[in-house]
Chain A
Amino acid sequence: MGKTGFMKLTAAALAALAIGATAVHAADDLNDPYRGPALESLKGKTIAYLPISIGFDLAQAWGGVVKTESERYGMKFTSQDPNWNTDAMAQGMTALIAEHPDVIVTQNPDMQSLARLMKQATAAGIVVVQLNMQGAVQTDAFVGPDFIAMGEQAANMMLEKCGSGTDTSHKVAIVQGVLTGGVSYYQVQGMMKVFNEHPEIQIVSSQAADWDASKARAITETALQQNPDMCGIIDVWDGQGIGTGAAIKQAGKQGQVYFITSGGGAQSMCNGLEDGTYSAAINYNAPGMGRDAWTAIMMALQNGQGAGAIKTQIYSPTRVMTKDDVQAGTCWDPEQYAKILR
């Protein structure tokens, strides 16, 4: 073998070595060093889902999203349905604390009922995520709309239609949910803050319909009888608002009375906007809230600080929708999420 031959061989060997090394280096590069620990922190953990009921569209969307994602990462997901019974819910929470899952995702029926139990759960090292309504204690995360701001937003929308700049009666009615329920109470608080600064607005009726569409229909029918020149109505929830809207329609006042409501954006909201039952709706996108809850869970499990160390209020983005915004697929199908939870 000549000198040149040796050189060639060396060059080839060096080249091969270089290519090999690059290949080895490239394989190292493709392996995301952060994925492993993240997956490890999620894998095998348990999530317990305890809303006030699993039967309604919002809870189905929240739970459906969290369940789908948790299963993707090898976590165990359990759920309980207290069926609107606060006592059953408190019992369920007590039992959960004893079972000690890694995460509890819950929804407060009111400010106080679960406060002490949530504190216990956090002390026991369980990550607690609260949905839709903030209880009297702050835990790892609260996920839900800022209902006071939403009330203000609805009131400001109403001012545009019935305020001093308009040639209307300035008469507005409010249909509340349950007086003591936070979802209703805070929205009304926000509305009144705005309306109190606008004395031209006359609140002719502000009653609770108990989340019941039939009661909402009866109340609105009477309110419209009393005030045939009504300018606008705000209902704090679209599921109840369907009764309010039916009363407006049956009084032949669709178009005259501007009707604002709010909800999680299920298909029924789009249908209501389309057929004129609602004039405008503030959509807080329940599957989006499910995603926020899932994000909060991932953060709490990955940050390694332990339950309750980092507390965040995650306010849900909202979107105002009218008939013009409704297209196929704008709203979501609760049935699809109900199936996931079954």
Chain B
Amino acid sequence: MDIGKAFRLLNQERIVFLLTVLLFVVFSLTLNNFLAAGNLLSLVRSVAVLGILGLGMLIVVLGRGIDLSLVATMAISVAWAMQLVSQGMPVYAAMTSGLLFALGIALITGILVAYAEIPPLFATLAMATFIYGFGRAHMITGTDVVYMPKDMGWIVELGQGHFLGLPMPIVVAAAMALVVFLFLKYTKLGAFIYAIGDNLPASRIGGISVRPMLALQYVISGGIAFVAGIITATSVEAMNTRVVNSNMIYDVILVVVLGGVGLSGGRGNVRNVIVGTLLIGVLMNGMTIMDVQYTIQNVIKSLILLLAIVVDSIVNPRDEQTGQQGDI
């Protein structure tokens, strides 16, 4: 195989994967204890929530959408559920209420996108503000940090427990990745999502009920956001609704795009999200060990993203087809 041909084989996912391996090797050689089992577990664990949110984003992006309300849904639904528990509601009832809120609000987003035909970027941006504002004004009555009640029962294990020696957040993230993978690969609904993302009018002509499918994508991502929130809250024993104001949603988009999922829809799978998430995990962990300041970590993170995109656009130049599909 000549070099040119090998070069052509590089797509963004492979570039990012190679970058991840490269960083991994460099850190292994230069940093003490980087390769220790404990450190590798905490590496994966620290990005487990990001990965789970990435799966929700993946499903929406595949259908040529984007969900900027993921983090707001996550924070408000879980904070509200925990507040209900501290006000005396049974844990199961409170958790069900929180989940139903997440699904309900996501359904509204879905309806706005699918039936009112508001562009997803604006619909979810507006919904994110609405969810946070409504939640802070009418649902979470105390402070914006809701502390975990003492009597949460086994749910605490989701954030703090272990399964076969693995921290539960990793196990949950892996299980969710498997479910989403199977859903996208082997179910009819999964195939429809790819079809819609690839070519919406053709899918409609082909007999797919496009609007309900679009709404369903947002409902699924809302449910995933709730799970991510439960993991976050039980890990740190609090849900800080201020996370809505942070750049976390951009980190979620980052792992999805970094892994090679096309924002123009129809291209990408769970593997892309895992690769993107691992790169961020390796990078953050290594920089934390090196005691690099957080602001500088952000700079390095964005430089890596730019590097991946630049290399991708050199290796895979835009042709007429990709140009027509358009970006966000």
Q: Mark A residues whose CB is within 8 Å of B.
A: 53, 55-57, 60, 83-85, 179, 204-219, 221-223, 225-226, 239, 242-243, 246, 250, 266, 268, 271, 277, 334-335, 338-339, 342
User: From residue B37, how far is it (CB to closest CB) to chain A in Å?
Assistant: 10
Q: Does B284 contact A (CB under 8 A)?
A: yes
Check B45 against A266 for contact (C-beta < 8 Å): no
Check B144 against A214 for contact (C-beta < 8 Å): no
How far apart sit A221 and B293, CA to CA, in the bound complex (Å)? 16
Residues of B within 8 Å of A212, CB to CB, are 240, 242-243, 246
Cβ 8 A contact of A213, one of B49, B238, B293: B238
Q: Take A222-B42, A246-B235 as given contacts and tell me if A213 and B240 are in contact as well, using a CB distance cutoff of 8 Å.
A: yes
Cβ 8 A contact of B240, one of A60, A225, A239, A271: A239
How far apart sit A212 and B239, CA to CA, in the bound complex (Å)? 10
User: From residue A259, how far is it (CB to closest CB) to chain B in Å?
Assistant: 14
Which stretch (B5-13, B105-113, B135-143) binds chain A? B135-143
Write out, one digit per residue, whether chain B residues 121-145 have a CB within 8 A of any chain A CB (1) or not (0).
0000000000000001000011111
Check B144 against A56 for contact (C-beta < 8 Å): yes
Check A225 against B236 for contact (C-beta < 8 Å): no
Q: Take A222-B289, A225-B42 as given contacts and tell me if A271 and B143 are in contact as well, using a CB distance cutoff of 8 Å.
A: no
Q: Is the interface of B mostly helix, strand, loop or mixed?
A: helix
Most buried by A among B32, B43, B142, B291: B142
Q: Is the interface of A mostly helix, strand, loop or mixed?
A: helix
Q: Take A55-B144, A179-B293, A211-B242 as given contacts and tell me if A223 and B235 are in contact as well, using a CB distance cutoff of 8 Å.
A: no
Could you give 24 example pairs across A and B, Cβ below 8 Å?
A53-B144, A55-B143, A57-B143, A83-B245, A206-B291, A207-B288, A208-B295, A212-B246, A214-B235, A214-B240, A216-B236, A217-B235, A218-B46, A218-B288, A222-B39, A222-B285, A225-B39, A226-B32, A226-B33, A239-B238, A242-B147, A250-B235, A266-B143, A268-B238
Check B45 against A221 for contact (C-beta < 8 Å): yes
Q: Does B36 contact A (CB under 8 A)?
A: yes
Most buried by A among B36, B45, B143, B291: B143
How far apart sit A335 and B144, CA to CA, in the bound complex (Å)? 11
Check B160 against A250 for contact (C-beta < 8 Å): yes
How far apart sit A125 and B144, CA to CA, in the bound complex (Å)? 34
Residues of A within 8 Å of B42, CB to CB, are 218, 221-222, 225
How far apart sit A56 and B146, CA to CA, in the bound complex (Å)? 10
Q: Mark B residues whose CB is within 8 Å of A.
A: 32-33, 36, 38-39, 42-43, 45-46, 49, 136, 141-145, 147, 160, 232, 235-238, 240-243, 245-246, 284-285, 288-289, 291, 293-295
User: From residue B290, how far is it (CB to closest CB) to chain A in Å?
Assistant: 10
User: From residue B131, how far is it (CB to closest CB) to chain A in Å?
Assistant: 14
Cβ 8 A contact of A179, one of B45, B136, B236, B294: B294
Residues of A within 8 Å of B232, CB to CB, are 214
Closest 8 CB pairs between A and B? Answer: A55-B144, A218-B46, A243-B236, A213-B236, A208-B294, A335-B142, A222-B288, A57-B143
Cβ 8 A contact of B246, one of A210, A225, A266, A277: A210
Cβ 8 A contact of B289, one of A83, A226, A335, A339: A226
Cβ 8 A contact of A219, one of B32, B45, B49, B288: B288
Check B289 against A214 for contact (C-beta < 8 Å): no
Check A56 against B33 for contact (C-beta < 8 Å): no
Q: Take A55-B144, A207-B293 as given contacts and tell me if A222 and B46 are in contact as well, using a CB distance cutoff of 8 Å.
A: yes
How far apart sit A215 and B293, CA to CA, in the bound complex (Å)? 12
In the complex, which residue of chain A has the Cβ closest to the Cβ of B133? Answer: A83
Residues of A within 8 Å of B160, CB to CB, are 246, 250
How far apart sit A342 and B141, CA to CA, in the bound complex (Å)? 9
Most buried by B among A225, A266, A277: A225
In the complex, which residue of chain B has the Cβ closest to the Cβ of A342? Answer: B141
Q: Take A246-B236, A266-B143, A334-B143 as given contacts and tell me if A225 and B243 are in contact as well, using a CB distance cutoff of 8 Å.
A: no
Residues of A within 8 Å of B43, CB to CB, are 222
How far apart sit A226 and B147, CA to CA, in the bound complex (Å)? 29
How far apart sit A246 and B142, CA to CA, in the bound complex (Å)? 22
Check A226 against B236 for contact (C-beta < 8 Å): no
